[in-house]
């Protein structure tokens, strides 16, 4: 019999979000009358907006005609008009259309990117971090087994991002020639790196032969004009960074599936091979391109009408976040020493419950408030004692959840 890939032996049991869903189902089965509200997984809830929906509907109707039908695209990198519009509208010309590669989502691209670097690369991640960065590294063999202490996977450099360091890591712990995973606005902490901080990150990467994998999937939530929405606002980033991005959260495409990756022409491997060359070969082999229908919606979202709808939708979730933060500032939480971190530029709140285990707090909030959250420990060792609250939810449900949380006594 064929043996499985031995790297999978190193994975800790269970991916975070299916584990949360499993616990939620178990609790619901044991408490059939409980009305559970989710402030956990970052899945959008509001309907697709009218202008974007109309564009997709029109495209679908055209597919039913001989003149309007389209099959495979000419290039797995995406439709040329969409690539050009992403470059011009979202990047203001900081990147070229031929450096934009459209995909079926940021998470999918993270998995594909890891194949380019293989098992020999050193990996450094913000801690806490979106789980796919680490789990994907384990699957390709770039990380070892999780020790019994659950202090993190072997061969991964964890860069703690805590309130004490303003959620920006000490880069000196990173090995030369590492792949550095960095997310801003950050999932799960909601922190947004300043231009000065990204300047330090880029300078470090260039000086030490590192490549930054920059996840900007929450760029559309940034309201502070002084904060960078892309790493390519920083001089020198084109020589050391790949940016992965998504339409999922800005326009509600979590199920529609559409994203993109930017790979500058200047970015090269140690032997001089352009990273674009490998990426093009990889995606042409494993990927037939994003859905034509989804790309039509993405293109419409970058029209003035679509951008206005994007702003309205992200404002909606940011208002939800404000309501949750207000609920968590009540007397009961203050008495417990609970600390809430939210800058107003991300859909997540990162909340510390001093002296408590994350899963313990998760269970307590679930049982006493019937509210589902996300335990911080699932994002890495530095996430212990934290809970992530997501603002993705219908307003009525969020308001009710806030009323319940305001009464919580741990």
What pLDDT does residue 19 have? 85
In this structure, what CATH number is given to the domain that contains residue 198? Answer: 3.40.640.10
Q: Give CA–CA dist 112/100, Å, rounded.
A: 15
pLDDT band at 17 (very low <50, low <70, confident <90, very high): confident
Q: Over range 242-252, report the average pLDDT.
A: 98
Contact 165, 34 (CB under 8 A): no
b/e burial code for range 227-265 (CB count within 10 A of at least 16 → b): bbbbbbebeebbebbbbbbbbbbbbbbbebbbbbbbbbe
Is the four-CA dihedral 113, 115, 381, 162 of positive or negative sign? negative
Does residue 277 carry a pLDDT above 70?
yes
Residues 139 and 98 in one domain: yes
Question: Residue 177: inside a domain, yes or no?
Answer: yes
Residues 87 and 216 in one domain: yes
In this structure, what CATH number is given to the domain that contains residue 16? Answer: 3.90.1150.10
**Sheet strand arrangement including 386-390:** 339-341, 348-352, 386-390, 374-375
Residues 335 and 310 in one domain: yes
Q: What is the pLDDT of residues 286-341, one digit of tens each?
A: 999 999 999 999 999 999 999 999 999 999 999 999 999 999 988 778 778 999 99
Question: Residue 1: inside a domain, yes or no?
Answer: no
Residues 114 and 68 in one domain: yes
Residues 118 and 147 in one domain: yes
Residues 377 and 317 in one domain: yes
Question: Residue 280: inside a domain, yes or no?
Answer: yes
Single out the residue in 250, 285, 303 at which a domain terminates.
303
Give the residue numbers spanning the domain of 254.
52-303
Residues 269 and 388 in one domain: no
Question: Residue 129: inside a domain, yes or no?
Answer: yes
Number of domains in the chain: 2
Residues 119 and 249 in one domain: yes
Length of the chain, in residues? 410
Question: Residue 231: inside a domain, yes or no?
Answer: yes
Question: Residue 2: inside a domain, yes or no?
Answer: no
Q: Is 392 helix (H, G, I), strand (E, B) or coil?
A: coil
What pLDDT does residue 148 have? 65
Question: 102: which strand partners?
Answer: 260
Residues 195 and 217 in one domain: yes
Contact 359, 377 (CB under 8 A): yes
Does residue 163 carry a pLDDT above 70?
yes
Question: Residue 296: inside a domain, yes or no?
Answer: yes
Read off the DSSP letter of residue 342. Answer: -
Residues 279 and 145 in one domain: yes
Single out the residue in 303, 328, 355 at which a domain terminates.
303
Question: Residue 355: inside a domain, yes or no?
Answer: yes
Residues 235 and 327 in one domain: no
Residues 96 and 203 in one domain: yes
pTM value is 0.96
Q: What is the pLDDT of residues 115-131, one digit of tens each?
A: 999 999 999 999 999 99
Single out the residue in 251, 286, 303 at which a domain terminates.
303
| pLDDT > 90 in the chain, percent | 90
């Amino acid at each position: 019999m064929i043996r499985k890939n031995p790297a999978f032996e190193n994975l800790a049991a269970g991916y975070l979000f299916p584990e949360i869903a499993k616990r939620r189902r178990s609790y619901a089965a044991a408490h059939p009358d409980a009305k559970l509200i989710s402030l956990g997984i970052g899945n959008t809830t509001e309907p697709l907006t009218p202008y974007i929906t109309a564009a997709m509907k029109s495209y679908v109707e055209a597919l039913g005609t001989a003149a309007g039908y389209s099959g495979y695209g000419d290039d797995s990198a995406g439709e040329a008009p969409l690539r050009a519009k992403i470059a011009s509208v979202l990047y203001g010309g900081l990147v070229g259309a031929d450096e934009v590669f459209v995909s079926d989502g940021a998470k999918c691209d993270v998995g594909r990117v890891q194949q380019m670097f293989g098992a020999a690369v050193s990996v450094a991640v913000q801690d806490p971090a979106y789980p796919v960065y680490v789990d994907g590294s384990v699957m390709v063999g770039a990380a070892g087994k999780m020790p019994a202490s659950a202090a993190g996977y072997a061969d991964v450099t964890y860069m703690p991002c805590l309130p004490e360091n303003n959620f920006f890591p000490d880069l000196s712990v990173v090995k030369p020639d590492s792949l550095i995973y960095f997310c801003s606005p950050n999932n799960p902490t909601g922190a947004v790196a300043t231009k000065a901080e990204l300047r330090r990150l880029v300078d470090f990467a260039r000086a030490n032969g590192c490549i930054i994998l920059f996840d900007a999937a929450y760029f559309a939530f940034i309201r502070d004009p002084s904060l960078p929405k892309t790493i390519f606002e920083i001089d020198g980033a084109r020589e050391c960074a790949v940016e992965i991005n998504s339409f999922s959260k800005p326009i509600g495409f979590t199920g529609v599936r559409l994203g993109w990756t930017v790979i500058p022409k200047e970015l090269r491997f140690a032997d001089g091979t352009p990273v674009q060359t490998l990426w093009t070969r990889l995606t042409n082999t494993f990927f037939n391109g994003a859905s034509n229908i989804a790309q039509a919606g993405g293109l419409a979202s970058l029209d003035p009408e679509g951008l206005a709808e994007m702003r309205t939708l992200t404002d909606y979730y940011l208002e939800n976040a404000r309501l949750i933060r207000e609920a968590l500032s009540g007397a009961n939480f203050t008495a417990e020493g609970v600390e809430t971190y939210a800058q107003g530029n991300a859909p997540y709140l990162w909340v510390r419950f001093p002296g408590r285990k994350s899963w313990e707090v998760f269970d307590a909030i679930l049982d006493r408030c019937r509210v589902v959250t996300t335990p911080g420990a699932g994002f890495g060792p530095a996430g212990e004692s934290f809970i992530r609250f997501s603002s993705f939810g219908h307003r009525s449900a969020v308001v009710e959840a806030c009323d319940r949380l305001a009464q919580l006594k741990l």
